[in-house]
């Protein structure tokens, strides 16, 4: 069964490995330009919306491969609402609340039709995609709005203040490494995060051992910890070489953290997986499956509103054409990250990998001066390769399952 464990390993980490390979490949093609601190930083801020929308999309996909086509339009609508409010010199926190409420209302609207009236999600959100885009145009009357509200831009990372200020710049001597002056706040933050991760991993492992649970072998855990430690430090260093922590990174981390928690540790999360795996069985287990669907689309709406906030902050303004095609980026991130198109499997971790891989490919092609139309072809092909991989792995797994069945047959009556 050694071959089996290799397959298992590949299945689990394939996209991660692919990501590293793609990253290295692009850095060769572009003579290392893609790994410059500025480009690493941009990778995060340019793709912030993919992480946020991908997380929401994951919830919908988990419930049975259902998608939300409207998110691009909702990003635009929420952004438009916020921009108009700020344009009227109303305090920015009100605008932020209004944008989230806008997203929430859209989510409730979709949730109602999909969960309670049983309109197929594809249709319901296609309607949303058209209607909310139109609505955005109506309220903005076709104009673009600029945003110069300093408070808003500071908090959500837009314009000239995209970064967390270096509080520690004056403390101690300048930190220089590899020809860059490092942002100390960022570096210290990265070290804390890396050390924290390692401590938590080992603490958790000892706790599980104490309770007598099965855990991964010590060697595997050490290798994994060392790798993740190195990645965090490297990433922090790259950010520190440029302007430090992009503000938006904090928001992304917050969203991903909250939803990773919801999907793995709460009953709502559990119910999302159950509904996607077998809706009837879930209903007969006394779970209100309508409520689960409703929650998924409502949360998707709120996250669309939040992506709208990040979007207008980054671009310091809003126009009626923002957000076109965002839904596709979010859907692609989920599927590349291993979510099943039939529902029931997928994770926030997968979304992170999927969104990052998309971002790397996008950025790499731009830096390598690939013509725009070719970029689209490549992006399409990447999606089919990712899904193809999933399909092949599933087939192999079925093959493996047949083998186990045969193995059981060998044991004869033991199989009961």
Partner 1 sequence: MAKVLLEMKSITKTFPGVKALDNVNLKVEEGEIHALVGENGAGKSTLMNVLSGIYPIGTYEGDIVYDGEVCEFHNIKDSEKKGIVIIHQELALVPYLTIGENMFLGNEQGSKWCIDWNKTYAEADHYLNMVGLTDSSKTLIKDIGTGKQQLVEIAKALAKNAKLLILDEPTSSLNETDSRALLDLMKKLQREENMTMIIISHKLNEVSYVADKITVVRDGSTIETLDAKKDDISETRIIKGMVGREITDRFPKRHDVEIGDVMMEVKNWTVYHPEFSERKVCDDVSINVRQGEVVGIYGLMGAGRTELAMSIFGRSYGIGISGTLKLRGKEVVLRSPKKAIEAGLAYVTEDRKGNGLVLTNSIKTNTTLANLGAVSKATFIDKDREYQVAEEYVAKLRTKTPSVEQLVGNLSGGNQQKVLLAKWMFADPDVLILDEPTRGIDVGAKYEIYCIINDLAKAGKSVIMISSELPEVIGMSDRIYIMNQAKIVGEMPASQATQENIMSCIVGVSGESSSSESVGSEG
Residues binding partner 1 (CB under 8 A): 1, 3, 211, 213-214, 265-268, 270-271, 273-274, 276-278, 280-288, 340, 344-345, 401-416
Task: Please count the other Cβ atoms lying within 10 Å of the Cβ belonging to residue 227.
Answer: 11
Burial class (CB in 10 A: 0-12, 13-18, 19+), 131: middle
Measured from the CB of residue 68, what is the shortest distance to partner 1 in angstroms?
Answer: 22
DSSP 310: H
Run of H or E residues at 228: helix 218-241
Helix axis angle for 348-367 and 48-62, nearest 10°, is 140
Entry field: residues in the chain: 416
Measured from the CB of residue 257, what is the shortest distance to partner 1 in angstroms?
Answer: 15
Distance of CA 164 to the CA centre of its chain: 21
Measured from the CB of residue 1, what is the shortest distance to partner 1 in angstroms?
Answer: 8
Measured from the CB of residue 10, what is the shortest distance to partner 1 in angstroms?
Answer: 18
Name the residue nearer to partner 1 (CB basis): 224 or 415. 415
Name the residue nearer to partner 1 (CB basis): 191 or 221. 221
Q: List alpha helices for 316-368, DSSP H.
A: 326-336, 348-367
Name the residue nearer to partner 1 (CB basis): 206 or 404. 404
Residue 135 to residue 227: CA distance in whole angstroms: 48
Helix axis angle for 121-140 and 71-87, nearest 10°, is 20
Question: Measured between alpha carbons, how far is residue 255 from residues 30, 47, 52, 57, 325 in Å?
Answer: 32, 14, 7, 13, 21
Task: Please count the other Cβ atoms lying within 10 Å of the Cβ belonging to residue 15.
Answer: 21
Name the residue nearer to partner 1 (CB basis): 50 or 302. 302
Measured from the CB of residue 404, what is the shortest distance to partner 1 in angstroms?
Answer: 7
Measured from the CB of residue 292, what is the shortest distance to partner 1 in angstroms?
Answer: 12
Name the residue nearer to partner 1 (CB basis): 1 or 117. 1
Name the residue nearer to partner 1 (CB basis): 292 or 313. 292
Measured from the CB of residue 5, what is the shortest distance to partner 1 in angstroms?
Answer: 13
Name the residue nearer to partner 1 (CB basis): 3 or 325. 3
* Residues 6 or more apart in contact with residue 188 via CB below 8 angstroms: 168
DSSP string, 19-40: HHHHHHHHHHHTTTGGGSHHHH
Name the residue nearer to partner 1 (CB basis): 378 or 407. 407
Q: Are strands 145-146 and 317-318 parallel, antiparallel or unpaired?
A: antiparallel
Residue 328 to residue 289: CA distance in whole angstroms: 26
Measured from the CB of residue 265, what is the shortest distance to partner 1 in angstroms?
Answer: 6
Helix axis angle for 2-29 and 372-411, nearest 10°, is 170
Name the residue nearer to partner 1 (CB basis): 31 or 264. 264
Residues 377, 68 contacting (CB under 8 angstroms): no
Name the residue nearer to partner 1 (CB basis): 41 or 340. 340
Measured from the CB of residue 401, what is the shortest distance to partner 1 in angstroms?
Answer: 6
Measured from the CB of residue 280, what is the shortest distance to partner 1 in angstroms?
Answer: 5
> Is 177 strand, coil or helix?
strand
């Amino acid at each position: 069964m050694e071959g089996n464990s290799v397959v298992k390993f590949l299945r689990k980490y394939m996209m991660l490995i692919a990501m590293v390979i793609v990253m290295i490949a692009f850095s060769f093609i572009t003579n290392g330009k893609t790994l410059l601190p500025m480009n690493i930083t941009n990778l995060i801020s340019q793709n912030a919306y993919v992480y946020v929308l991908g997380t929401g999309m994951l919830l919908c996909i988990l419930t049975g491969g259902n998608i939300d086509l409207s998110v691009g339009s909702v990003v635009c609508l929420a952004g438009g609402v916020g921009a108009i409010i700020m344009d009227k010199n109303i305090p920015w926190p009100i605008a932020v609340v209004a944008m989230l409420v806008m997203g929430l209302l859209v989510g409730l609207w979709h949730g109602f039709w999909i969960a309670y009236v049983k309109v197929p999600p594809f249709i319901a959100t296609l309607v949303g995609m058209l209607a909310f885009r139109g609505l955005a145009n109506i309220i903005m009357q076709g104009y673009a709005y600029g945003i110069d509200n300093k408070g808003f831009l500071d908090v959500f990372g837009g314009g000239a203040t995209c970064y967390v200020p270096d509080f520690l710049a004056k403390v101690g001597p300048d930190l220089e490494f590899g020809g860059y002056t490092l942002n100390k706040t960022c570096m210290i933050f990265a070290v804390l995060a890396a050390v924290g991760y390692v401590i938590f991993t080992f603490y958790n492992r000892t706790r599980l051992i104490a309770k007598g649970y099965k855990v991964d072998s010590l060697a595997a855990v050490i290798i994994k910890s060392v790798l993740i430690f190195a990645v965090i430090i490297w990433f922090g260093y790259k950010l520190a070489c440029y302007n430090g922590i992009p503000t938006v990174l904090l928001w992304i981390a917050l969203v991903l953290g909250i939803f990773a928690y919801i999907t793995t540790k709460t009953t709502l999360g559990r119910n999302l997986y159950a509904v996607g795996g077998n809706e009837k069985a879930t209903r007969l287990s006394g779970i209100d499956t309508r409520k689960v669907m409703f929650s998924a689309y409502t949360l998707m709406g709120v996250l669309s509103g939040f992506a709208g906030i990040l979007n207008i902050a980054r671009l310091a303004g809003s126009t009626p054409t923002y957000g076109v095609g965002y839904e596709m980026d979010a859907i692609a991130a989920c599927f590349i990250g291993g979510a099943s198109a039939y529902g029931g499997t997928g994770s926030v971790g997968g979304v992170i990998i999927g969104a990052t891989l998309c971002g790397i490919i996008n950025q790499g092609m731009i830096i390598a001066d690939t013509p725009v139309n070719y970029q689209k072809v490549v992006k399409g092909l990447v999606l089919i390769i990712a899904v193809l991989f999933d399909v092949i792995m599933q087939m192999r797994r079925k093959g493996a399952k047949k083998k186990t069945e045969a193995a059981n047959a060998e044991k004869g009556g033991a199989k009961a």
